[in-house]
Amino acid sequence: MNDDARLAGDSDVKTLRDADPLSPRDSQARRLGRGRLVIGLCVASVLLTGCLPARGLLAPEGEVAARQSAHLIQTDPLNAVFGIATMLIGVPTGVKVYDWLLTMWRGRIRFTAPMLFAAGFIFSFVIGGVTGVILANPPVDFAVHNSLFLVAHFHNMLIPGLLFGMIAGMQFWFPKAFGFRLEERFGIVAFFLFFLGFHLAFLPLYILGLMGAPRRVAIWHDADFTPWLHAAGLGALFVAGGFAALIVQIRRSVARRASLAVPVGDPWDGRSLEWALPCPAPDYNFARRPQVSGQDTFWQDKAQGIAYDRAGPVAAIEMPARSAAAPLIGLAAFLTGFGLTWHIWWLAVVATSAGIMAWIGHSFRRDTMERIPVARIEANLAAWHDQISAASPVDRHGETSARNTGLAKRPT
């Protein structure tokens, strides 16, 4: 079977996955899920490497691995090159996995929804990575390349590495964007439905692949495949239930947003600077330029009791003015790509023309900047400090309760 058609799509997706752009998001969720520093630099001192060089190595190696996944290499020397390069991916990836695990080691882990999705990512990602190293062996890859084994490996990497990370980030940063937390109960329900459903849907595909079930086939006539296919179908229903639970979670959270509000801005007892702002953050972000003296300045300021001090005057802030040009150009680009992909030529022409017109129209705009007056900034600051004064600090055991208004209680 000719696999050339897969090359473009698989190359992009595998490079996305192997470069792991979502890992900072997962790392931050794990980091606050157990209240410790990310210790990539400590791991680097032991293993002579760390997360940053590991990420740098993953991108080119991931591209080479994509080529092996996209083609059945017939030339023996190329088999060796592609196989070795794909096996080497396990080294920097293993560094990252150990970094995540050691970051959680002896930490005070709280199994909230963001942490559960982040932990589920690690478990599933390792399974997919191990099967990827198996596929790095050219004879094995030749035998199972066009089977469901490869489909299972591909989704074992893509879904935990992308979907679980996206959901963890959504659960974690939602209050910073919208001012209220997502309801915890349905977030946990969504995690277990996703986690159980995903593994029930794709782990049987490994077995089917080893049994010889080919991919890209709509109907199988081998009765031995039927029980495993039924199990995979049941898992897909669980995954659909996970999406439904997420929708219910968002709807219930919006309906109860008053009781889930975290206006002070620090619902997770965070370390990084974004949690030093109210929720939702004002459009100008910081009223005063933050003074950063280390990796966790906000965390240290909270420990010293000076995180919310009213210090220093404020000045007017100049910002880019609001404009509809960016979303219009983005929508036009999406419709252009959609039209080109599905050969809807009139849509591609109209969308491209609309995007160019929006771009040209925006270039004639003169009022490109706006000035935030001091009075507005001071009023926002005063209202925020009043909310801080009225809030009751909440320790980590109460993070998911209605008492959490975004003011974290520092442990003694």
Convert the pLDDT of each residue in 230-259 to its tens digit.
Answer: 999 999 999 999 999 999 999 999 999 999
359 and 384, same domain (yes or no) = no
Element (H, E) at 247: helix 226-255
Q: What pLDDT score does 20 carry?
A: 45
DSSP string, 105-171: TTS-----HHHHHHHHHHHHHHHHHHHHHHHTSHHHHHHHTTBHHHHHHHHHHHIIIIIIHHHHHHH
Q: What pLDDT score does 34 carry?
A: 52
225 and 163, same domain (yes or no) = yes
Distances (CA, A) of 186 to 82, 109, 180, 345: 44, 20, 15, 43
Is 405 part of any domain?
Answer: no
Domains identified in the chain, total number: 3
Calculate mean pLDDT across residues 76-94.
79
Tell me the range of 106-120, 182-196, 213-227 where mean pLDDT is highest.
Answer: 182-196
31 and 167, same domain (yes or no) = yes
355 and 377, same domain (yes or no) = no
Q: At what angle do helices 113-135 and 51-70 cross, to 10 degrees?
A: 50
- Domain termination residue (choose one: 208, 224, 255): 255
| Alpha-carbon span 376 to 191, nearest angstrom | 41
Q: What is the DSSP letter of 294?
A: S
CB atoms within 10 A of CB 405: 22
Q: What pLDDT score does 44 carry?
A: 40
Q: What pLDDT score does 258 carry?
A: 94
* Lowest pLDDT segment from 22-31, 116-125, 249-258, 283-292: 22-31
pLDDT band at 367 (very low <50, low <70, confident <90, very high): confident
For residues 136 and 210, the answer to whether their CB atoms sit within 8 Å is: no
Convert 336-375 to b/e letters by CB count within 10 Å (16 or more is b): beebeeeeeeeebeebbebbeebeeeeeeeeeeeeebeee
Is the pLDDT confidence value at 397 over 90?
no
Which has more confidence, 67 or 135? 135
Is 411 part of any domain?
Answer: no
Is 406 part of any domain?
Answer: no
| Alpha-carbon span 230 to 94, nearest angstrom | 34
Burial of 241 (0-12, 13-18, 19+ CB in 10 A): middle
331 and 188, same domain (yes or no) = no
Is the pLDDT confidence value at 17 over 50?
no
Encode pLDDT of 183-202 as tens digits.
Answer: 999 999 999 999 999 999 99
385 and 358, same domain (yes or no) = no
361 and 378, same domain (yes or no) = no
Considering the chain, what is the average pLDDT of its residues? 82
| Alpha-carbon span 99 to 105, nearest angstrom | 10
Calculate mean pLDDT across residues 85-113.
86
359 and 388, same domain (yes or no) = no
68 and 155, same domain (yes or no) = yes
201 and 348, same domain (yes or no) = no
347 and 241, same domain (yes or no) = no
Q: What pLDDT score does 35 carry?
A: 56
Is 260 part of any domain?
Answer: no
- The pair of three-digit structure tokens given for residue 265, joined into one six-digit string: 């801005």
Through-space distance between the first and last CA atoms of the chain, rounded to whole angstroms? 64
Is 145 part of any domain?
Answer: yes
Distances (CA, A) of 229 to 72, 190, 214: 26, 23, 12
Instruction: Please state, for a pLDDT cut of 70, what percent of the chain lies above it.
Output: 81
Is 268 part of any domain?
Answer: no
Is 349 part of any domain?
Answer: yes
217 and 156, same domain (yes or no) = yes
Q: Which domain holds residue 351?
A: 322-366
